């Protein structure tokens, strides 16, 4: 019995689908307004849409193969999408269903930009709204607690003996990664993009600087390393990281044991594993962003206005990039102070 098909390989797509997406990503000529509807999209966004389209076609092949004879946009109907959502819900969490349908909507807009997709946009919004009402709070931990975990991992690692498996260095690296993620709420793409060239350090201070191409927003981001974390960073750069490199030469800030730097997927798994070991339930890197906004509102409501700055949600109508950068740096410094205050209060209470 043939296994149920989840994704239809691109080599088996209807020819018309491939042509539509090729046209959607056409860069166009600088003298003519003939660029495709998706010419501006980053490669990461294109991969997400491509993945969702494969999943959609896989669903149709298994359940409604005759639909593949229809034009690509003609297959996307309320009736079919309803069945698709019900199908996805059997194996996916509500948040994943919402994301998958959201990328299907993105694909529909690319291949048929003139068509009215308001019903699909409304469905996407309803799915997202319902997914957000899931009890996510159960898996969120206060930034003060994830920061305690980060320091515990690093301090315990320094007490471990050296070994060929480099358990000591890996644990220290993971602890520093959690500390940076707690203080500096960047996306894992940016975290994975860090290299030693992004580190600016003198005798007293340290700063991490991301270039525009390293961030989702396309803006540079500067992060002053908190004073309490600077000694850990120095130890990492002078001792831990060279040991992880093992004589190899590459500039990744987070070296992998297998060579090169940690990928986004590896960072995701490390964060989930370390938090699950400590708290019983895993937190994803994005959960750190949710936790920051949630716990600032709970424990430091007077600082809730920091949220857009620390999450790098600067408004696009502000044309001055230097203003945006300054606002993010200022918000990060105040966020560090807010976490330190809450952490001190919680420790005093316990």
Give the pLDDT confidence of 133-179 residue by residue, as tens digits. 554 666 788 888 999 999 999 999 999 988 878 999 999 999 999 99
Q: What is the bridge-based pairing of β-strands 206-210 and 221-224?
A: antiparallel
- Residue-number span of the structural domain to which 306 is assigned: 139-349
Structural domain ending residue among the three candidates 85, 119, 134? 134
Say how far apart CA 5 and CA 61 lie, in whole Å: 8
Q: How many Cβ atoms sit within 10 Å of the Cβ of residue 185? A: 25
Q: Are 177 and 218 in contact (CB under 8 A)?
A: no
State yes or no: pLDDT of 326 exceeds 70.
no
Average pLDDT for the chain: 83
Structural domain ending residue among the three candidates 134, 149, 181? 134
Q: Are residues 327 and 187 in the same domain?
A: yes
Looking at the domain assignment, is residue 221 inside a domain? yes
Higher pLDDT, 93 or 302: 93
Q: Are residues 50 and 85 in the same domain?
A: yes
Q: Are residues 209 and 185 in the same domain?
A: yes
Please state the separation of Cα 255 from the chain's center in Å: 19
Contacts of 266 (CB under 8 A, 6+ apart): 256
Q: Are 275 and 141 in contact (CB under 8 A)?
A: yes
Q: Are 81 and 120 in contact (CB under 8 A)?
A: yes
Q: Are residues 130 and 152 in the same domain?
A: no
pLDDT range class, residue 47, cuts 50, 70, 90: very high
pLDDT at 299: 47
Give the pLDDT confidence of 201-258 residue by residue, as tens digits. 988 899 998 887 777 667 778 889 999 999 999 999 999 999 999 888 889 999 998 8
Structural domain ending residue among the three candidates 103, 134, 165? 134
Looking at the domain assignment, is residue 296 inside a domain? yes
Q: Are residues 20 and 148 in the same domain?
A: no
Q: Are residues 210 and 344 in the same domain?
A: yes
Looking at the domain assignment, is residue 1 inside a domain? no
Looking at the domain assignment, is residue 204 inside a domain? yes
Contacts of 127 (CB under 8 A, 6+ apart): 85, 94, 97, 98, 101, 102
Q: Are 306 and 296 in contact (CB under 8 A)?
A: yes
pLDDT at 131: 79
Beta-sheet strand order (sheet of 221-224):
199-201, 206-210, 221-224
Helix 264-279 to helix 285-299 angle, to the nearest 10 degrees?
50
Q: Are residues 185 and 316 in the same domain?
A: yes
Q: Are 266 and 174 in contact (CB under 8 A)?
A: no
pLDDT range class, residue 88, cuts 50, 70, 90: very high
State yes or no: pLDDT of 310 exceeds 80.
no
State yes or no: pLDDT of 333 exceeds 80.
no
User: Domains in the chain: how many in total?
Assistant: 2
* CATH number for the domain harbouring residue 334: 1.10.443.10
Give the pLDDT confidence of 13-22 residue by residue, as tens digits. 998 999 999 9
Global pTM value: 0.62
Give the pLDDT confidence of 95-130 residue by residue, as tens digits. 889 999 999 999 999 999 999 999 999 999 999 888
Looking at the domain assignment, is residue 3 inside a domain? no
């Amino acid at each position: 019995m043939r296994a149920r098909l989840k994704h239809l390989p691109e080599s088996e797509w209807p020819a018309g689908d491939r042509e539509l997406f090729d046209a959607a990503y056409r860069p166009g000529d600088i003298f003519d307004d003939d660029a495709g509807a998706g010419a501006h999209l980053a490669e990461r966004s294109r991969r997400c849409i491509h993945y969702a389209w494969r999943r959609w076609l896989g669903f149709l092949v298994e359940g409604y193969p005759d639909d593949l004879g229809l034009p690509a946009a003609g297959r996307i109907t309320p009736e079919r999408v309803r069945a698709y959502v019900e199908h996805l819900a059997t194996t996916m969490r509500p948040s994943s269903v919402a994301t998958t349908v959201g990328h299907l909507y993105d694909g529909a807009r690319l291949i048929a930009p003139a068509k009215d997709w308001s019903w699909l946009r409304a469905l996407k919004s309803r799915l997202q709204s319902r997914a957000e009402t899931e009890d996510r709070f159960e898996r969120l931990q206060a930034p003060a607690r994830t920061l305690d975990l980060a320091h515990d991992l690093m301090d315990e690692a320094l007490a471990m003996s050296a070994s060929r498996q480099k358990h000591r260095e890996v644990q220290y690296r993971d602890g520093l990664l959690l500390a940076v993620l707690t203080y500096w709420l960047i996306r894992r793409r940016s975290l994975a993009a860090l290299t030693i060239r992004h580190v600016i350090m003198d005798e007293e201070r340290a700063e991490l600087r991301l270039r525009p191409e390293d961030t989702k927003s396309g803006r540079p981001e500067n992060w002053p390393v908190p004073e309490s974390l600077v000694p850990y960073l120095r130890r990492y750069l002078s001792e831990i990281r060279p040991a992880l490199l093992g004589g190899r030469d590459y500039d990744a800030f987070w070296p992998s044991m297998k060579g090169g730097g940690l990928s986004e997927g590896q960072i995701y798994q490390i964060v989930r594993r370390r938090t699950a070991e400590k708290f019983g339930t895993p937190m994803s890197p994005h959960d750190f962003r949710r936790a920051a906004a949630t716990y600032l509102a709970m424990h430091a409501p007077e600082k809730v206005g920091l949220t857009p700055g620390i999450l790098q949600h600067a408004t696009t109508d502000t044309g001055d990039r230097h203003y945006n950068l300054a606002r993010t740096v200022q918000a990060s410094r105040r966020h560090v102070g807010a976490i330190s205050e809450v952490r001190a209060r919680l420790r005093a209470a316990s």
